[in-house]
Each structure stands twice: as C-alpha cells, then as structure tokens.
Structure 1
Amino acid sequence: MIGGGQAGLAMSHHLGRVGGEHLVLERGELAERWRSERWDSLHFQSPNWNMNLPGWPRMTADPQADPDAFSPLREVTHYIERYAAAIRAPVRTQCAALSVTRRPGSRQLQVQTDGTLYVAHNVVVATGPYQVPRATLALGAGVFELHSTQYRNPMQLPAGAVLVVGTGNSGVQIAEELCRADRRVFLSVSSHERIRRRYRGKDCIWWLIATGSADSTLREWKGARLSRLMTGVNGGHDMDLRQLAAEGVVLLGRVKAAENGRIAIADDLAASIAHGDESLQAFARRCDDAARAQALDLPAAQPPADPLPDPPELHEPIRTLDLAREGINSVIWANGAQAEFGWIDLPVFGQSPGPKRTPVHERGLTSEAGLYFLGLPWLHKWKSAFLFGADEDAAYLAQQIAPRKAS
C-alpha cells in the first residue's frame, strides 16, 4: 500500500482479515495531509457518528464523544493513529514512494523509495486525490501568497486586507475565520452548491445517506457536482455567502487575470450566488421526497427564513481589484488541488500529460495486473473519497487481490 491515510489503513484492515501479507508506506507520519496541509481551526465536516473506519467507528474509539459533534483536527489525526494501532497496521513512515514500475522480465511490481526497493505482486495506490495545488496567477512582488494547504491561522499573515480566491469549503471557512479575526476580507466566488447543515432534525450527511446520494455512482448521480459549502466549526452551521457579506466580506466574481498588482474579475458573481440558492432549494426537495417515499418520522419542514439582502457587489460588481489601493497584502489561493501520479511509470493513464493525467480504472482495478487505486473521487460511488466510504472500496479490492495472491 502506498499511503497511510484513511484509505490505506482501511485496505490494511481488509487485507489483514484475509491473511494478506502487506506493508503500508507513508511519505510522512500517519495521516500526513491532515497534519501538514490543514488549518488549525478545521473541524471534521461530518458528525462523529459518521467517522467510521472498518471495524472501529469513532464512537467505539471514544464512547464519551458527542455523536452529533464535529471533531477538531487534532482528534481526527488521533483517531487515525489509534485506528492504525488497533488493527496493527504494518506502517513504515517517512518512506515516500518515488516510482512504481514493472520489474523487468517479471509480473511483479517494484516500488522505489529513498534507499529501499520493494518488490510486490500487488500495489495499491492510496495517496489521495489532492497532492498538487492548482496553478495560480503571478501577482508580483510585495504580496504574500500561499495556497490554502499552507494556511494555518490569521497570525501567519502580514497586517492588511486579505484576498481569498475560491469558495470551496476551504475558501469560505478561511474567509469566515479571517473576517471574525477582524481582517478585511475580499472573497472571489467560484461555482458552488449550498446545503443545509441540518434539515428536519437531521444532519446533511444523514440526508446524503438517506436519499441514496452517498451510494450513487457517477452515472446515477443527480445531485450536486460542485463543491458544497459546509463547516463543522462551532458545532456546525450553514455557510451563506450573504451572511459573510453582512459581516463585512467583500464578494467578487471569479479571478480571470492579473497584471502589475491589478486583478481582472469576471462578471459572474450574481450567477454563482443564484446557482447556490437554487441548489439549496433542490437539496430540500430531495430530502422531502425521500422522507415521503420512506415514510420517515421526522419533524415537518420549516419554512425558509427570509433571505438576507443582496450585498451591493451583486448589482454593482467589481471588475478590477487594485491590491495596493485596497490594502491587500495577502492572497490565499483556495482554488483546489489535483492528483499527481507522474511517479507511476505504467500505462494506466488517459491522454492528458503531466499532473493532470488520471488513472483509467474500474472500481480501482487497472489494466496492469497487480496495480490498484483507492480513495479517489468517484472511484465507485460519491462517498469513495471520504473517510466513511473507504471501507466498502477497500473490502472490494481485498477480494480481488486475495485470489490473485493465492494463485
């Protein structure tokens, strides 16, 4: 196994159950990305009752935990550490895989690390889907820039206003934190979906399971395909861009280009906000339909609260942002990350060159005997890339590997 996060450890659990001899190679410490690529105040975005790795749910690990609470970052990494110890996962930390190749003249695969060459019949790549930050624009000297994976807390930034680019979960949560730390914040809004943190007495994750969305394959999926705005901070609450605007955040459209400290802004803010509003209504309709179809005994749907007023930027959009004039000394690029598989030298990728190339697979199985992928978005279902989705996919791959090992 390459990767000692949730997917690699779930795979270790299932291989251990079928007697499969294996190693888990981790480039840093267990759950390295949770440790080194997340901000300090982050909370797990699913309730404790849904923090489940195979054979060891979060509530089993800590029976005193509130099942409806959201674990802070340190508890997430601690849970993964204790899980690895509980299943006795054979993990080798500080052991980054540098290459995966076919052993010459053999059906075996070989994994080169710094100083050690491992040879195996099977290799499962469980490094996650987000290794490399997406490209950013050159803003010039004098601006402190960092990607959201490098952001830790407001004290990390120099004095002055901050521009946050992107409204996935990272962008909106960081913008909210900076605003409440009395920073002036500009937020470049990208396409997004909205969701209710709680609806009719149940958390949105419960609804994703109840409606069948979590178990949908890409072909079946009819829900949101863009980033959903949610947070587990302060007990979990709805993320509403109008609320952020009411608190002082200046909303912008999508960043198009930059030159000499001036940023060109697309005229798409109103469209992005409208799409988010529509997705919120669609979410409620799906939940209500599921409640009726399954005769669920739940509180009646409450009428929606009166919407907050539109911020002025919706009707008078900012087209150009002058960083110096606005006192913006920091830019946080919350524009996402992507997989990077350039170190795998086997013909299992599509036509796109470089870091954008993606593996061609069927439920994690590739055309190269013995090579598997785990933990990717839509590996099989919507939940595949999430902690609670690792169990099912890992169990399936273990069933494929066991017969091959026996032969």
Structure 2
Amino acid sequence: MSLHKLDHRRTTVAIVGGGQAGLSTSWFLTRDGVDHVVLEAKTLGHEWRDRRWDNFTLVTPNWHCRLPGYAYDGPEPDGFMGRDEIVAWLSGYAPTFDPPVVEHTAVTRLTEREGGGFVLTTSGPDGEETWEAEHVVLATGGYHLPIVPSWASALDPSITQLQSADYRNDDQLPEGAVLVVGSGQSGAQIAEDLHLAGRQVHLALGDAPRVARFHRGRDCMTWLADMGLYDTPVAQYPGGVAAREKTNHYVTGRDGGRDIDLRQFALEGMRLYGLLDGGRDGALSFRPTLTAALDGADAVYNSICRDIDRHIEAQGIDAPAGAPYEPVWVPESEPTSLDLAAEGVTSVVWAIGYRPDYRWVQVGVFDGTGRPTHTRGVTSVPGLYFLGLPWLHTWGSGRFHGIARDAEHVATAITGAFDRVAAG
C-alpha cells in the first residue's frame, strides 16, 4: 500500500483513527469517490499488536471477521485467530483499496470552524499542523484511559503494577504470586493465562457475566448470530441504551475454544475474592460479593443456553441435547482481606476496564460523564460522527461482526449531507 502524499491540509472528510472502524469508513468513501483522509496517531491497526498479550485469541469465531469488501477466508471459520493471526489478517485489508492514510499523526485538538466544518490540530513528524474538514468521523474507539483505584499509588512500591493492555506474558512479571483485578474478558483470560503458566493467581471478581463456549453442538456466538442478537438495535434491549454500560461475557477462544470456569480454577488452586474495595501498603480489603458474582455469572450462562434451547425448539432444529451448568465448587466463606506479602504476591494486573477520553474534542456533543451523545454514530452537530464504539447501534458494533453496517450508515449520512446541500 502506498501512503498518499497529500500536499494540502484541506479535505472533505477527516477520519480520526486507522483501526477497523476508520478503515471501514474509508472503504465506503473510497467506493463513493469522496475526498477524505485517515489520520492515524501510530500505524494502521496497531492496537491489535500493541495492546494484546502473547496468547490472546478472539472470543468470537473467525467467520465474524468481516469488513467492507474483505472477510476471513481461511481454513478455520469456526476457529479463533490468535493475536499475530489477527494482525496479519487486518494488515491485508488496506492494500485492497489503498486508503488515503497519514500515519504517525495524532489529532490533538478538534474545534468547530466559523461558518461550518471543523479544524483539526495534529502533531506528527513535521510538528504541529492544521487540517480543515467539512466532516469528521471519530473512529478512535471508547477505551482510552485505564480505570485504576485512586489508592493504587498507596500500595507497597515493591509491588509491580501493570495495566491489562501492557500485559504480555508471565515472564515479564517478577517471580511470585499475581493478583488480577477484574473478571471481564481481559481479566478472566489473563488470570487463565497466568494460571496455565503455573503462577499462583489471586483474582478479584467484579460482576461480569459469562457464556458457554459451545452448546447443543455449536458455538454459542454462532447460535446468537442466527438468533439476530448481534443485529438488534440497542434501544430494543431491556434497559435500552443502558446496555452500553454492560460488561462483556467472559469466555475464551484459546486451544480451539472453551468455557472459562472460575470455579474449576478455584479447585485447581486459584484464589478468588469479591470486589476489591481498598488497600494500602500490603493490605487489601474486599467486599463479600464472591458468591453473588459466581452465581450471577452462572445464571447468565444458563439463561443464554435456555434462550438457545427455545430457538432450537421454535425452529425445529435437529441438535444434540444440552444440559445446564452445575457448580463444581462453592466458596466456604467470603474472603475480605489479603496480605500481599504473606501470600507472596509481587505483582498486580489491573483489568477493571477503560473509559473514554475525548478532552481533545472541543465540540459540545458529550453527556455529563464525558461520553458522546449520538444516534447510531450521528451527533447533533452537523458533520460530526462517531464509529467503532461498543453498542454504538448493536451488540456487534464494537466487533468485526457489525462494523461494516455501522460504517456504511455513517458514510451514507455524509453523502446524504452532500445531497441536501446540493438540493438546498
């Protein structure tokens, strides 16, 4: 792929972010002949390479990997690509349509231009520059700043602290036990990775749900796709847009895919706790929520399986029998404290999650928590759009599965704006 040499700093559409969301938007604009540029702070798709651990795998089947004009066509559609395979697959996308990309160019400020349109201030190899655009698509995702308790700095400085995005493998951590904080997809899988590497793992659970990897002879996420769950607009889910705040279900694609059963890990020696509540020096405290967290996750697991059972029955599908999950271990008590030194804990991996950081976007499209307000990526400010956010429109929006549909919607909104101007 040749990166276009742009001798001007004015464009019709500026796309901020060169991941799958930004590139998908570029594909539609390229198809429609719309002048645009993709501004990428680092390199195309770098987050898949730089923010995933060595044994990372997709939790969705490979057949979910589809972008506009480009889909997984390898030998294992029902398998789960590892990190390096994902990087290789995604790196093959841009050469198929040669998007106008400017890499190593970070957008540091976005403001509205007097009279309409936007001004983007960038920082790159040539220093600070200014771009002007009639439309801007913000495709930087929603995971910018790691969530860490304010008291984390009060822990013993001899304890190594690491964010989930910076974890690669157990070799990078000092010898000793590891505390993983958070049981969402990253936390549960990192805890598993360390457990399989032979580390003594202590895991502080949140309220993340879980899902079966396989049920009734097929991958659960394939069943859910058939049932239309990834295509249902967020407003149609119970609680409506509140679904955007839900934690994703934990499961793994490792070794061909399997459940993550924290109760089984406990039988094998992993130490489980409820919600981490506080800490100082080497003493941590936990809320007595372990039993509730495990029971809640299992309840969601079985509920999803029952939904699949009903779908199978309603459609008259011939599928092997299934069975609900039965707990293989239950806590004898609720642990509420942990002495790091006494238990030999030498490192902490924070996997609580991330929050968005749009301080550089100086346009009034955010709610009181700093999250963008939009309808399927289209904001109330003419010409400003978001893409690639979890639950932007459907459950599939933050995944490869649904990005093409969202990108096409935003691209159509942009070209429709041209038509309205011409008609006016």
Give the TM-score normalised by structure 1.
0.94
Code of the aligned partner of 2:236 = E
- Partner residue of 2:321? 301
Is contact 1:200-1:298 (8 Å) kept?
Answer: no
Distance 1:270 1:306 in 2: 14
For the 8 Å contact 1:4–1:30, the answer to whether it is kept is: yes
Equivalent of residue 256 in structure 2, options 215, 225, 235: 235
Q: Which residue of 1 aligns with 2:122?
A: 113
Q: Distance in 1 between matches of 2:224 and 2:143?
A: 23
* Residue 382 of structure 2: aligned partner: 369
- The residue type paired with residue 160 of structure 2 is F
Query: Corresponding residue for 1:22?
Result: 36
1:55 to 38, 44, 69: 69
The structural deviation recorded for 1:301 is 2.4
Secondary structure of 2:412's match?
helix
Distance 1:70 1:300 in 2: 23
**Distance in 2 (alpha carbons) for counterparts of 1:347 and 1:41:** 41
Deviation of 1:14 (Å): 1.1
* In structure 2, distance between residues paired with 1:293 and 1:96: 51
Q: Closer, same or farther in 2 for the Cα pair 1:106/1:293, shift >3 Å?
A: same
1: distance between equivalents of 2:106 and 2:386?
Answer: 17
Counterpart CA distance in 1 for 2:325 and 2:387 is 41
Contact 1:213–1:221 (Cα < 8 Å) also in 2: no
Q: Which residue does 2:164 correspond to in 1? A: 148
Alignment of 1:128-143 (within 5 A): 128-136=141-149, 137-138=152-153, 139-143=155-159
CA deviation digits over 1:118-156, x for unaligned, max 9? 111100000011011012323131100011011011000
Is 1:79 the counterpart of 2:89? The answer is yes
Residue in 2 aligned with 1:340? 357
Distance 1:260 1:277 in 2: 34
Listed one character per residue, the Cα deviations across residues 302-349 of structure 1 (whole Å, up to 9, x for unaligned) are 234653132xxx222211111111110000001011111110001111
How far has the Cα of 1:351 moved from its partner? 2.0
Q: Which runs of 4+ in 1 moved over 6 A?
A: none
- Corresponding residue number in structure 2 for 1:46: 60
For residue 322 of structure 2, what is the amino acid of its counterpart?
Q
CA distance in 2, matches of 1:335, 1:174: 12
Match in the other structure for 1:199: 215
Q: Name the residue aligned to 1:292.
A: 313
**CA distance in structure 1 between the aligned counterparts of 2:225 and 2:34, rounded to whole angstroms:** 31
Amino acid at match of 2:254: V
- Pair 1:132–1:298, CA change in 2 (3 A): farther
Unaligned runs of 5+ in 2: 1-14
| Corresponding position: 1:399 with 2:379 | no
**Is the 2:302–2:325 Cα contact (8 Å) retained in structure 1?**
no
Q: Does 1:157 align with 2:173?
A: yes
Q: Alpha-carbon deviation of 1:405?
A: 3.2
Is 1:96 aligned to residue 117 of structure 2?
no
- Structure 1 residues 212-223: aligned runs within 5 Å: 212-222=228-238
Could you tell me how far 1:222 is from its partner in structure 2? Answer: 4.6
Residue-pair matches, total: 394
Deviation at 1:80, TM superposition (A): 1.3
Q: Secondary structure at the match of 2:349?
A: strand
CA distance in 2, matches of 1:175, 1:71: 20
Contact persistence 1:252–1:318 (CA under 8 A): yes
Shift of 1:404: 2.0
TM-superposed deviation, 1:205: 1.5
User: Over the residues paired in the alignment, what is the CA RMSD in angstroms?
Assistant: 1.5
Cα deviation, residue 72, structure 1: 0.9
Query: Which amino acid is the alignment partner of residue 50 of structure 1?
Result: H
* 1:371, distance to aligned residue in structure 2 (A): 0.6
**Paired residues of 1:201 and 1:298 also in contact (CA < 8 A):** no
Correspondent of 1:271 among 292, 305, 308: 292
Which residue of structure 1 aligns with residue 7 of structure 2? none
On the 8 A contact 2:302/2:324 being kept in 1, the answer is: no
SS in 2 for 1:318: coil
1:315 aligns with 2:332: yes
CA pair 75-228 structure 1, distance change in 2 beyond 3 A: same
Separation in structure 1 between the aligned mates of residue 117 and residue 325 of structure 2, nearest angstrom:
61
Structure 2 length as normaliser, TM-score? 0.90
Q: Which amino acid aligns with 2:203?
A: L
Contact kept in structure 1, 2:181 and 2:352, CA below 8 Å: yes
- Whether the 8 Å contact between 1:164 and 1:175 is mirrored in structure 2 is yes
Q: In structure 1, what is the Cα distance between the partners aligned to 2:261 and 2:401?
A: 26
Distance in 1 between residues matched to 2:321 and 2:121, nearest whole Å: 56
Q: Equivalents in 1 of 2:46, 2:28: separation in Å?
A: 21
Q: Give the letter aligned to residue 300 of structure 1.
A: P
- 1:285 CA drift (Å): 0.9
User: Partner letter of residue 86 of structure 2?
Assistant: V
Amino acid of the structure 2 residue aligned with 1:338: R
Q: Following the alignment from structure 2 to structure 1, what is the Cα–Cα distance between the partners of residues 100 and 87?
A: 18
Q: Does 1:259 align with 2:285?
A: no
- What's 2:79 paired with? 69
| 1:228 positional shift | 0.3
What whole-Å deviation, never above 9, does each CA across 1:171-216 have from its counterpart, x for those lacking one? 1111111111111110001102121111112212212212221112
- State the distance in 1 between where 2:87 and 2:163 align: 21
